Structure 1
């Protein structure tokens, strides 16, 4: 009798999660004959995901990363006895593909620790919380509205029902075709979203893309609302790594890749990639690496520079699209080791709005083991502050000064706390999802079947964002190459690519027509 088809285990609790089954093929690229050789450029989430996915199917992988450490925008590094990173990241339950990667080194995801709330605070004193509300739409909306001080039933009745139905009828790429031309701020005004809630909730969400709402595509914002609230029953409560990123994520993933036979080279800058008749030559400082295929998983600026220096890659249209990519405004991450603690009732993470610079505050000893050691040793706290969408030529010292001042105002028990150690990161390497950019955004696959892209800057027509977009495109890039070699791919999952209510979807289609 024929065997029953394989039914993949559902990755979360949402019964509507979307499965994209792996394409069929040979179990390994290593048989028969020598395996194909792939160079992965970039050692962040996308590059590591692609390297793991390829190596698991017997592909010979060489990963090249310009920094001294793996991790990309999620990396961490030692500064004496302390670890510094590029900032707090939330690992939401609906990050199915990222969590699949992590389960390869922690099957029970024990490297992650749940955070019980996602509170938001406006400078005028209004606050919101997502703890305790139902997870499943539409009951999560009802629970939030009934409890909210910034979004009430009266506000709900005053909204423009015609325009607002777009929030309940998300499908990629159609949502981008309909809404990408306008900015998020304009869209929220058009649906008459209450101003207080707009400034608190949506501004916090939009600035998590490192851009102000006026500079962010409305389609990106609506898709984000679908992912985290209206389209998923996983909820807005998230996990965080139990310890520093190197300890919990990158050291175990490095060991995994080495065990799979991946050749890792960190601190190596790729200067050019040449396409020849028989494959690729990847040029680094003092070395040339031959490959049958290449995965480009660099950040926006790095990808743009590399393609510009590699005239034999891709066709003219693709090269122009890469050249059109832009980065979001600069951001700051400040980590402060203080001589006294934040109050015990403070949340692990607080999103803020209406402050001049401050976008969120994290109290690290509430979830990170290394910071907890500092608390036990000194009685102090380790506090992390984020400021997004800074002016391009902002004075760094002044920004740090003002950010710390705002932190002391939000947490007045720290007003007189002395800073025992501090680390700061200014960067401007995150992708900008500006209005009108979706159509020209490069996709995973290119005109060359042996050249693929991965990263959160890459278009993939699924409701994914941020770290999950990076992991999803990493798997998709590997799958594209594996399909080219007729080797079995990897399953992908996402939040459902449609609104959860057929009635609301139908209403949205009627208003659109």
Structure 2
């Protein structure tokens, strides 16, 4: 049974283009599209196209689907197999377009399980919690601030209302015109946000973008505040897959798409794309020796992959557009350490804990609180599976990765023992770790230069969480939204109906906040 995605009655529906009686472009038979990249954006595009009868071929460089939310199997030293991934991902209730993708293979979203809290711990041991907060703005933000041990009541009186005014009426792209020239850290200082609360609440969230607040656009921070607090009544809590990402999410979705004729080529990288004078204008070459002729192409690769592909495909795009792609930046690297401990973590520990002021650690996940794969291992071995994350790492390029890895593993383990002392008694039955440096950076001034879904070629579109779309979406939801939108752009050319998009309100949610914001703006003139 399908479940209703949105509980917020003010969710905004963005209608898709409807079927045209006279298509802009005709094709010899069914339109054929090659989707480059099998992450969330590519899978949304493939779904949107396949459901309208388009012939879809998806090519993914890795051996698995899901991109940065992919999952795979690793073998431990004892010969046992375990599920592995790049780490914890929070599926917030505001992720309407992502959830609609997941519903294709799981109509009731039964493979998602709710976490009842998202506690945040600072360097002095003070704990913020999201449990029990009211869901409606602005009372959710007010209640969080008033009960926070790092935010005193008098701090509310010290906030600068003029500096904070943009938070009360976030519009997209308006907020970027107002704040994208500032970094998030400077913006919070200008508001007079208390340092302790700033360090805990906002830094934890900004680092989910894999960057320090000094590197992140203030506009992205304001948009995020709107999406999760002042713009939505869905709440700040979220769901997580109940097993490895491949098992819970992407293998079922692949079966759904295959039943609609979609073809998948994993473990294969696209090398270049040529423009040809023929019935199908695109010729896609991969490193397995395949050549696909297509009516359309969706580029849903990561930043580095997109740049490399354009460098190898000189016929694609106009110089200014190609420069906008080259200007995309990658966030600093992050590190994930997963530990299989031979003793359990104390039962009162949360499934997820965000940390601040405890470098290099950013969060701890106890996977056997919610993940069936980890629960199966814990039942067999009597232990726990724990995951540690370090985001936005400053790397000395002169030092070897082995040196950095060894130091991070030691430092993260020390922090784990400090926060969860019982883990110091546990032996490490197995360990896996990984480095990655492939997340887009949402830096100061980047928005105006960021390429959008449309390109100079009508049959070529971009998708991904680094691609611009003028809706209030972020992270995985931005990837999903651009993927659906990319499909819609192509479908419209062929006279086929598109797919509606959804978002939190596209402006300040309450009239009172909008009025206060306008009054403050008038007072600054």
TM tier, smaller = over 0.9
Provide the residue aligned with 1:4 in structure 2: none
Provide the residue aligned with 2:482 in structure 1: 473
Provide the residue aligned with 1:420 in structure 2: 429
Give SS of 2:257's match.
Answer: helix
Provide the residue aligned with 1:90 in structure 2: 90
* Cα offsets for 1:34-78 (capped at 9, x unmatched): 111100000000001100110000001110001111111011111
Provide the residue aligned with 1:25 in structure 2: 19
Cα pair distance change 1:480/1:145, threshold 3 Å? same
Per the normalisation by structure 1, the TM-score is 0.96
Cα distance in 2 for residues equivalent to 1:309 and 1:217: 31
Aligned-pair CA distance for 1:404: 1.2
Give SS of 2:483's match.
Answer: helix
Provide the residue aligned with 2:43 in structure 1: 48
Provide the residue aligned with 1:365 in structure 2: 368
Provide the residue aligned with 2:416 in structure 1: 407
Q: Is the 8 A contact 2:354 2:364 kept in 1?
A: yes
**2:312 pairs with 309, 313, 328, which one?**
309
Aligned-pair CA distance for 1:314: 1.0
Alignment of 1:1-150 (within 5 A): 11-25=5-19, 34-80=29-75, 81-150=81-150
Instruction: Give structure 1 stretches of 5+ with no counterpart.
Output: 1-7
Cα distance in 2 for residues equivalent to 1:221 and 1:65: 31
Cα distance in 2 for residues equivalent to 1:426 and 1:504: 43
Provide the residue aligned with 1:392 in structure 2: 395
Cα distance in 2 for residues equivalent to 1:277 and 1:405: 61
* Cα offsets for 1:133-184 (capped at 9, x unmatched): 1011012123213321112321111000111121111000000000000100
Provide the residue aligned with 2:242 in structure 1: 242
**1:347 pairs with 344, 347, 350, which one?**
350
Aligned-pair CA distance for 1:328: 0.3
Aligned-pair CA distance for 1:305: 0.7
Aligned-pair CA distance for 1:485: 1.2
Cα pair distance change 1:242/1:418, threshold 3 Å? same
Provide the residue aligned with 1:448 in structure 2: 457
Provide the residue aligned with 2:386 in structure 1: 383
Provide the residue aligned with 1:195 in structure 2: 195
Cα distance in 1 for residues equivalent to 2:243 and 2:384: 15
Provide the residue aligned with 1:322 in structure 2: 325
Aligned-pair CA distance for 1:32: 9.5
Cα distance in 1 for residues equivalent to 2:482 and 2:157: 39
Give SS of 2:329's match.
Answer: coil
Q: Is the 8 A contact 2:3 2:107 kept in 1?
A: no
Provide the residue aligned with 1:298 in structure 2: 301
Cα distance in 2 for residues equivalent to 1:440 and 1:225: 23
**1:283 pairs with 282, 285, 294, which one?**
285
Aligned-pair CA distance for 1:10: 6.3
Alignment of 1:117-266 (within 5 A): 117-266=117-266
Aligned-pair CA distance for 1:9: 9.7
Q: Is the 8 A contact 2:20 2:492 kept in 1?
A: no
> Following superposition, which runs of at least 4 residues in structure 1 exceed 4 angstroms of deviation?
none
Q: Is the 8 A contact 2:92 2:238 kept in 1?
A: yes
* Cα offsets for 1:276-317 (capped at 9, x unmatched): 234111111212111111000000110011111111111111
Provide the residue aligned with 1:3 in structure 2: none
Instruction: Give structure 2 stretches of 5+ with no counterpart.
Output: 76-80
Provide the residue aligned with 2:441 in structure 1: 432
Provide the residue aligned with 1:499 in structure 2: 508
* Cα offsets for 1:207-263 (capped at 9, x unmatched): 000000000000001101111111100011100001111110111011011111011
Cα distance in 1 for residues equivalent to 2:277 and 2:459: 12
Give SS of 1:39's match.
Answer: strand
Cα distance in 2 for residues equivalent to 1:161 and 1:391: 34
* Cα offsets for 1:59-101 (capped at 9, x unmatched): 0111000111111101111112111100100000010000000
Cα distance in 2 for residues equivalent to 1:33 and 1:459: 32
Cα distance in 2 for residues equivalent to 1:493 and 1:250: 22
Give SS of 1:240's match.
Answer: strand
Cα distance in 1 for residues equivalent to 2:105 and 2:187: 42
* Cα offsets for 1:345-371 (capped at 9, x unmatched): 000000000011000000000000011
* Cα offsets for 1:357-391 (capped at 9, x unmatched): 00000000000001111111111110011000112
Give SS of 2:243's match.
Answer: coil
Cα distance in 2 for residues equivalent to 1:289 and 1:32: 15
Cα distance in 2 for residues equivalent to 1:147 and 1:403: 30
Query: Which piece of structure 1 moves more, 369-378 or 105-114?
Result: 369-378
